[in-house]
């Protein structure tokens, strides 16, 4: 039996190339691990539909290698799981809703097709939040069963890409596709001790993804290492005429990005780059020291920063008045998500055509309060009198952040992804994150989302009771390569990735 724990792209492809195992045997090993730990035993519940053709596809890759003497593509034989927000040909794809339990797309999302073209073996789909809009990884298509955090089975895996994060962390796959609108790659990456990148929206096509806020939505790579994250990004980016936002990808290509032809071309330079970096720390992004949950995160982030300081990194403390207001007010979920989701439903005539007909106006589940309100927002976002002002404030915030980074000569901004560790499942029902009748989840990820900048989460360490904490870097547009290099430096110095102790 192949030991797939913590195996990387390079190690897997070396094993295939040298004949120690085949692509089919590698896929079998991961599917066996899913059967043992995800569907049985502790039942992490990170996966939903599993492919019935993955082994056949892997065997075809083995035949290709034998016949041609070369790999089909950059991800030849590499197992991938796909967030159930993306259409995947021949597999039930639910978008996190019971209404789509029988929805089987007849073509792949653009990103899924790209990964397959590069030789990836899609093992199946990962669990997500209801309509990708809840901070807990639970949905009605999965019978309201939470995805467990591999580091503590009583805690949640986080946000809407929680299934992808838990699966990567627990070694059910080498790579996973996530999607990030307000933090849905970075929050679960932080909670599950993995690397997750939110690229500049439009660098990766959203064709075939159910949207949430089209101007903020972006798929992205999730992996255990920065190197694997970078190599996966190489295979996801690109212009797609069906998604006009991917003019961003065309612009990046015209600018000669990524340098060296790969986002991983200069990762090794990150060891020195992080030592000479100047990084802004937003003071208001840290929770109160008097709150034991926030204090636990603050201790981990501070310890990681101290390690980097000792290596030579310069940190600049930044005061950002009314930080929460500035990153929350420009959000437009309640104004435009209904319209954006409905535009996608219009391409699925066998499904209801209005999300307001799917979700009630109110729910007895506190974690669905915001989603229900979103589903019953205006059919046209311009009907909301605050919509234009929110957009203007969004653009103002972007200019402010751009000028802040430039005027201080910063490489990036940094902050905890979330001010608290992974919550318990009961917190979803207790109303812990409801304040004055409104959702109040203590995330910092909205900053990059609102201004539509790239950001990366990399493991920073563990709280005293063993819960993972991630540190986030926010860069300027098109700065993915630099973010990955800095994250690689953090990975080398902080060395916070660890296999979940109960899943050895």
DSSP letters, 270-288, are: HHHHHHT-EEEEEGGGSPP
- Per residue in 415-470, pLDDT (tens digit) is 999 999 999 999 999 999 998 888 899 999 999 999 999 999 999 999 999 999 99
**Mean pLDDT of the 160-168 span:** 98
pTM: 0.98
CA angle 197, 198, 201 (to 5 degrees): 145
Taking residue 209's Cβ as centre, other Cβ atoms within 10 Å add up to 26
- 368-393: average pLDDT: 97
Domains and CATH numbers, the chain: 9-503 (3.90.1300.10)
- Assess whether 184 carries a catalytic annotation: yes
Tracing tokens 């094993």 back to the chain, one arrives at 15
pLDDT tens profile 194-238? 999 999 999 999 999 999 999 999 999 999 999 999 999 999 999
Q: What angle do CA 94, 48, 27 make, to 5 degrees?
A: 130
pLDDT at position 66: 98
Is 83 catalytic? The answer is yes
pLDDT, residue 138, reads 96
Total Cβ atoms within 10 A of residue 406: 10
The answer to whether 159 touches 188, Cβ cutoff 8 Å, is yes
For the stretch 263-315, pLDDT in tens is: 999 999 999 999 999 999 999 999 999 999 999 999 999 999 999 999 999 99
Tell me if residue 180 falls in helix, strand or coil. strand
Per-residue pLDDT tens digits for 52-110: 999 999 999 999 999 999 999 999 999 999 999 999 999 999 999 999 999 999 999 99
Q: Which pLDDT score, from 0 to 100, does residue 1 have?
A: 80
Residue 58 CA to residue 113 CA, distance in Å, equals 15
Q: In 3D, which of 132, 125, 159, 135 has the Cα closest to residue 38?
A: 125
The mean pLDDT of 382-404, rounded to a whole number, is: 98
- The pLDDT, as a whole number, for residue 438 is 86
Distance, CA of 298 to CA of 300 (rounded, Å): 5
Catalytic residue, chosen from 140, 157, 160, 189, is 160
Q: Outline where DSSP puts E strands in 136-248.
A: 148-149, 152-156, 175-180, 195-198, 218-223
pLDDT tens per residue, range 105-152: 999 999 999 999 999 999 999 999 999 999 999 999 999 999 999 999
Q: At what angle do helices 480-494 and 226-234 cross, to 10 degrees?
A: 160
CA–CA separation, 256 and 45 (whole Å):
41
**Count of CB atoms situated within 10 Å of the CB of 370:** 21
Active-site pick, 46, 51, 184, 285: 184
What is the rounded distance in angstroms from the CA atom of residue 208 to the CA atom of residue 109?
Answer: 4
- 237 DSSP assignment: B
CA separation for the pair 271, 316 (Å, rounded):
20
Give the separation between CA 183 and CA 181, rounded to whole angstroms.
6
Separation of alpha carbons 450 and 305, rounded Å? 25
Which 3 state secondary structure label does DSSP give 84? coil
DSSP annotation of 257 reads: P
State the average pLDDT over residues 228-252: 98
CA–CA distance, 72 with 66 (Å, rounded to integer): 11
pLDDT of 348 > 80? The answer is: yes
Q: Are 97 and 31 in contact (CB under 8 A)?
A: no
The H helix count followed by the E strand count for the chain is 17, 15
Under 8 Å CB-to-CB from 250, ≥6 apart: which residues? 239
The predicted structure's pLDDT at residue 102 = 97
Structure token pair of residue 126: 């990962």
- Give yes or no for residue 490 having a pLDDT over 90: yes
Catalytic residue among 83, 116, 125, 148: 83
504 pLDDT more than 80 = no
- CA 183 vs CA 79, 136, 187, 198, 402: distances in Å: 24, 12, 6, 8, 20
User: Does the annotation count 97 as an active-site position?
Assistant: no
* CA angle at 132 for the pair 130 and 137, rounded to the nearest 5°: 65
Q: What is the largest CA-CA distance in the chain?
A: 65
pLDDT at 502: 86
Instruction: Identify any residues that bridge with 179 across adjacent strands, giving them in sequence order.
Output: 219
DSSP string for residues in 316-375: EEE--TTHHHHHHTT--HHHHHHHHHHHHHTT-TTS-S-GGGTS-SS-SSGGGHHHHHHH
Give me the phi and psi of 184, to 5 degrees please: -75, -10
């Amino acid at each position: 039996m192949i030991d797939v724990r913590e195996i990387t792209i390079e190690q897997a492809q070396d094993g295939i190339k040298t004949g120690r195992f085949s692509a089919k045997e590698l896929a079998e090993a991961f599917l066996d691990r899913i059967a043992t730990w995800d569907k049985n035993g502790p039942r992490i519940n990170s996966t939903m539909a599993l492919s019935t053709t993955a082994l056949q596809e892997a065997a075809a890759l083995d035949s290709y290698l034998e016949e041609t003497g070369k790999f089909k593509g950059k991800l030849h034989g590499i197992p991938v799981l796909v967030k159930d927000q993306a259409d995947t040909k021949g597999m039930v794809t639910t978008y996190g809703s019971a209404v789509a339990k029988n929805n089987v797309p007849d073509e792949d999302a653009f990103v899924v097709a790209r990964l397959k073209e590069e030789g990836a073996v899609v093992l199946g789909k990962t669990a997500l939040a209801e309509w990708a809009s809840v901070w807990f990884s639970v949905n009605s298509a999965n019978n309201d069963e939470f995805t467990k955090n591999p580091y503590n089975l009583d805690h949640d895996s986080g946000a809407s890409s929680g299934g992808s994060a838990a699966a990567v962390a627990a070694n059910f796959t080498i790579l996973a596709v996530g999607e990030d609108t307000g933090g849905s790659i970075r929050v679960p990456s932080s909670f599950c001790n993995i690397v997750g990148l939110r690229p500049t929206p439009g660098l990766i096509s959203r064709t075939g993804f159910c949207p949430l806020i089209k101007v903020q939505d972006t798929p992205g790579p999730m992996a255990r290492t920065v190197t694997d994250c970078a190599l996966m990004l190489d295979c996801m980016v690109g212009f797609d005429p069906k998604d006009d936002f991917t003019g961003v990808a065309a612009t990046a290509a015209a600018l000669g990005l990524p340098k060296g032809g790969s986002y991983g071309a200069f990762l090794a330079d990150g060891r020195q780059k992080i030592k000479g970096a100047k990084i802004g720390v937003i003071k208001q992004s840290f929770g109160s020291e008097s709150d034991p949950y926030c204090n636990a995160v603050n201790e981990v982030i501070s310890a990681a920063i101290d390690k980097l300081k000792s290596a030579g990194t310069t940190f600049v403390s930044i005061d950002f008045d009314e930080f929460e207001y500035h990153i929350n007010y420009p959000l437009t979920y309640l104004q435009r998500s209904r319209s954006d989701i409905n535009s996608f439903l219009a391409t699925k005539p066998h499904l209801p055509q209005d999300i307001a007909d799917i979700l009630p106006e109110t729910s007895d589940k506190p974690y669905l309060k915001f989603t229900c309100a979103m589903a019953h927002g205006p059919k046209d976002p311009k009907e909301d009198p605050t919509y234009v002002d929110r957009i203007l404030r969004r653009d103002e915030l972007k200019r402010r952040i751009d000028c802040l980074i430039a005027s201080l000569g910063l490489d990036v901004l940094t902050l905890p992804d979330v001010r608290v560790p992974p919550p318990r499942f009961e917190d979803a029902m207790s109303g812990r994150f409801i304040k004055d009748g409104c959702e109040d989840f203590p995330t910092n990820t909205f900053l990059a989302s609102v201004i539509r900048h790239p950001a990366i989460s990399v493991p920073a360490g563990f709280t005293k009771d063993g819960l993972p904490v991630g540190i986030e870097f926010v860069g300027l547009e098109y700065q993915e390569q630099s973010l990955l290099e800095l994250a690689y430096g953090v990975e080398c110095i902080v060395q916070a990735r660890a296999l979940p102790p109960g899943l050895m």
